[in-house]
Amino acid sequence: MKPPVFYTGNTLPEDRQILAVFEPVAVDRLPLDLGEAALAYDGGAFCVLPGAGRAPYRPPALKAERISRKSLLARACGDRGPVLDAMAGWGTDALTLQALGLSVRVVERQPVVWGMLRGLGLNADLGDGFEWLHRQPWGVIYLDPMFEPRGRKGLAKQPLQMLQELAHADTRTLAEWIEAARSSAVDRVVLKQRRTAPPVARPDWQLKGRSVRFDVYRPAVRRAETDVG
């Protein structure tokens, strides 16, 4: 069964492909006790209806100061696209890399989140990012998995809290992701982690920020060549 999109009937032709993935339901049939988060649409504007009587949610717009070649994200990812962002979330990192001139394809498996990404104009596919690792040669494979919730002390910011509610846990280990990604990426694999998380496998280098860290892995083939030399 398709997930619902609550809509006003005001539809732009360019959004029809996105809406076709959902079951359109007139907004006046929106139940008061919406149990699960759903997508809402009105003439080009998408938002998340989080359910439980909460206000509609839109992830914050990309801040101009994030778009810097000196940022940790930009330095970790380098400049050799195309980039596959296999765990796209709200697309903030993907939009940042795209604004820096890289060609970026994103994959997200949560339909509501995917609808938001398409609404932002990203080249976004709905499905399992793991299956995209070997679909074509990627310059960079970028992985930003959900971190474990930290309990009350370190409550995540609202966009992440919302993702934690919506996203399903991936059944594979990060070691499996890294190994598969390293056998596909031409230039590098970048894994975003909490600053204090133990490394999944030995990275080639790390870039550390105040709360997060980027672990960068070179492709498996190139490492083998280096080892031989």
What's the rounded Cα separation, in Å, for the pair 110 and 221? 32
Least distance CB 225 / ligand SAM (angstroms): 30
| Token digits of residue 42 | 């009105």
Q: Which is nearer to ligand SAM, 25 or 156 (CB)?
A: 156
Q: How many residues bind ligand SAM (CB under 6 A)?
A: 22
Sheet holding 124-126, edge to edge: 124-126, 104-108, 83-85, 140-143, 188-194, 212-217, 205-208
Q: Which stretch binds ligand SAM (CB under 6 A): 3-11, 17-25, 108-116, 221-229?
A: 108-116
What's the rounded Cα separation, in Å, for the pair 88 and 11? 25
Strands 140-143 and 104-108: unpaired
Least distance CB 15 / ligand SAM (angstroms): 21
Q: Which is nearer to ligand SAM, 59 or 139 (CB)?
A: 59
Q: Which is nearer to ligand SAM, 66 or 222 (CB)?
A: 66
| Contact pattern from residue 114 through residue 153 relative to ligand SAM, giving x for each residue in contact according to CB under 6 A and a dash for the rest | --------------xxx-------------xxx-------
| Token digits of residue 36 | 């699960």
Is 181 an interacting residue with respect to ligand SAM (CB under 6 A)?
Answer: no
Is 182 an interacting residue with respect to ligand SAM (CB under 6 A)?
Answer: no
What's the rounded Cα separation, in Å, for the pair 157 and 164? 11
Least distance CB 169 / ligand SAM (angstroms): 8
Q: Which is nearer to ligand SAM, 40 or 181 (CB)?
A: 181
Biggest alpha carbon distance in the chain?
Answer: 68
Residue 80's SS3 state is coil
Residues 181, 216, 88, 164: is their CA dihedral positive or negative?
positive
- Pair 111, 3: CB distance under 8 Å: yes
| Contact pattern from residue 66 through residue 105 relative to ligand SAM, giving x for each residue in contact according to CB under 6 A and a dash for the rest | --------------------xxxxxxxx------------
Least distance CB 185 / ligand SAM (angstroms): 16
Share of the chain residues as helix, strand and coil, in percent rounded to the nearest 5: 30, 20, 50
Residues 119, 121, 122, 123: is their CA dihedral positive or negative?
positive
Least distance CB 39 / ligand SAM (angstroms): 14
Is 170 an interacting residue with respect to ligand SAM (CB under 6 A)?
Answer: yes
Residues that bind ligand SAM (CB under 6 A): 86-93, 107-110, 113, 128-130, 144-146, 163, 167, 170
